[in-house]
Copies of this chain bind each other. A is one copy, B any other.
Amino acid sequence: MAWNTDLRWRLPLTCLLLQVAMVVLFGVFVRYDPEADARWGEEKRRRNISSDVENDFYYRYPSFQDVHVMIFVGFGFLMTFLQRYGFGAVGFNFLLAAFGIQWALLMQGWFHSFHGGYILLGVENLINADFCVGSVCVAFGAILGKVSPVQLLIMTLFQVTLFSVNEFILLNLLQVKDAGGSMTIHTFGAYFGLTVTWILYRPNLDQSKERQSSVYQSDLFAMIGTLFLWMYWPSFNSAVSNHGDAQHRAAINTYCSLAACVLTSVALSSALQKKGKLDMVHIQNATLAGGVAVGTAAEMMLTPYGSLLVGFICGIVSTLGFVYLTPFLESRLRIQDTCGIHNLHGMPGIIGGIVGAVTAACASTEVYGEEGLAQAFDFHGSKARWTPSTQGGFQAAGIFVSLAMALAGGTIVGIILKFPVWGQPADQNCFEDEVYWEVPKEPEHTVHLPEDSTLKPVAS
Stretch at the interface among A136-144, A165-173, A213-221, A400-408: A213-221
Cβ distance A229 to chain B, nearest Cβ, rounded Å: 11
Whether B39 and A369, one on each chain, are in contact in the complex, defined by CB atoms closer than 8 angstroms, is: yes
A454 contacts which chain B residues (CB < 8 A)? Answer: 429
Knowing A244-B40, A308-B26, say if A264 contacts B5 (CB, 8 Å).
no
Q: List 27 A-B contacts (CB under 8 A).
A: A1-B459, A9-B271, A12-B266, A12-B271, A35-B248, A36-B249, A41-B245, A41-B372, A53-B243, A55-B243, A55-B245, A56-B248, A61-B251, A68-B231, A80-B220, A86-B220, A90-B220, A98-B258, A98-B260, A99-B262, A102-B256, A215-B440, A216-B440, A219-B440, A277-B438, A280-B440, A442-B446
Alpha-carbon distance A139/B7, docked complex (angstroms)? 35
- Which residue from chain B places its CB closest to the CB of A39 in the assembled complex? B369
Q: Which residues A130-179 have CB closer than 8 A to chain B?
A: 149
Cβ distance A408 to chain B, nearest Cβ, rounded Å: 28
Alpha-carbon distance A460/B268, docked complex (angstroms)? 24
A68 contacts which chain B residues (CB < 8 A)? Answer: 231
The answer to whether A448 has its CB under 8 Å from any CB of chain B is yes
Q: Which residues A66-110 have CB closer than 8 A to chain B?
A: 66, 68-69, 72-73, 76-77, 80, 83-84, 86-87, 90-91, 94-95, 98-99, 101-102, 105
Given contacts A19-B312, A98-B287, A426-B456, 19 further A-B contacts (CB under 8 A): A5-B455, A7-B270, A8-B276, A11-B276, A37-B249, A38-B369, A41-B245, A76-B223, A86-B220, A87-B278, A90-B223, A94-B230, A98-B260, A102-B256, A102-B308, A105-B304, A121-B304, A220-B221, A432-B455
- Interchain CB contact (< 8 A) of A9 among B2, B27, B231, B276: B276
Whether B312 and A264, one on each chain, are in contact in the complex, defined by CB atoms closer than 8 angstroms, is: no
Alpha-carbon distance A8/B266, docked complex (angstroms)? 11
A256 contacts which chain B residues (CB < 8 A)? Answer: 26, 102
Cβ distance A450 to chain B, nearest Cβ, rounded Å: 10
Alpha-carbon distance A85/B57, docked complex (angstroms)? 40
Whether B42 and A371, one on each chain, are in contact in the complex, defined by CB atoms closer than 8 angstroms, is: yes
Whether B65 and A244, one on each chain, are in contact in the complex, defined by CB atoms closer than 8 angstroms, is: no
A328 contacts which chain B residues (CB < 8 A)? Answer: none
Q: Which residues A356-382 have CB closer than 8 A to chain B?
A: 367-369, 371-373, 375-376
Alpha-carbon distance A130/B228, docked complex (angstroms)? 16
Of residues A36, A41, A442, A449, which shows the largest number of chain B Cβ atoms within 10 Å of its Cβ? Answer: A36
Cβ distance A28 to chain B, nearest Cβ, rounded Å: 8
Cβ distance A419 to chain B, nearest Cβ, rounded Å: 13
A447 contacts which chain B residues (CB < 8 A)? Answer: 442
- Which residue from chain B places its CB closest to the CB of A423 in the assembled complex? B276
A301 contacts which chain B residues (CB < 8 A)? Answer: 32, 37-38
A126 contacts which chain B residues (CB < 8 A)? Answer: 251-252, 255
Closest 4 CB pairs of A and B: A8-B276, A40-B245, A38-B372, A98-B262
- Which residue from chain B places its CB closest to the CB of A69 in the assembled complex? B231
A16 contacts which chain B residues (CB < 8 A)? Answer: 263-264, 267
Cβ distance A186 to chain B, nearest Cβ, rounded Å: 21
- Interchain CB contact (< 8 A) of A373 among B38, B277, B459: B38
Whether B98 and A275, one on each chain, are in contact in the complex, defined by CB atoms closer than 8 angstroms, is: no
Alpha-carbon distance A224/B149, docked complex (angstroms)? 21
Of residues A16, A52, A223, which shows the largest number of chain B Cβ atoms within 10 Å of its Cβ? Answer: A223
The answer to whether A4 has its CB under 8 Å from any CB of chain B is yes
Give a binary string over A274-311; 1 marks a CB under 8 Å from any B CB, 0 the rest.
11111110010001000000000000010111001100
A219 contacts which chain B residues (CB < 8 A)? Answer: 86-87, 440
Knowing A51-B54, A65-B235, A72-B227, say if A248 contacts B122 (CB, 8 Å).
yes
Knowing A23-B260, A31-B303, A275-B6, say if A456 contacts B434 (CB, 8 Å).
no
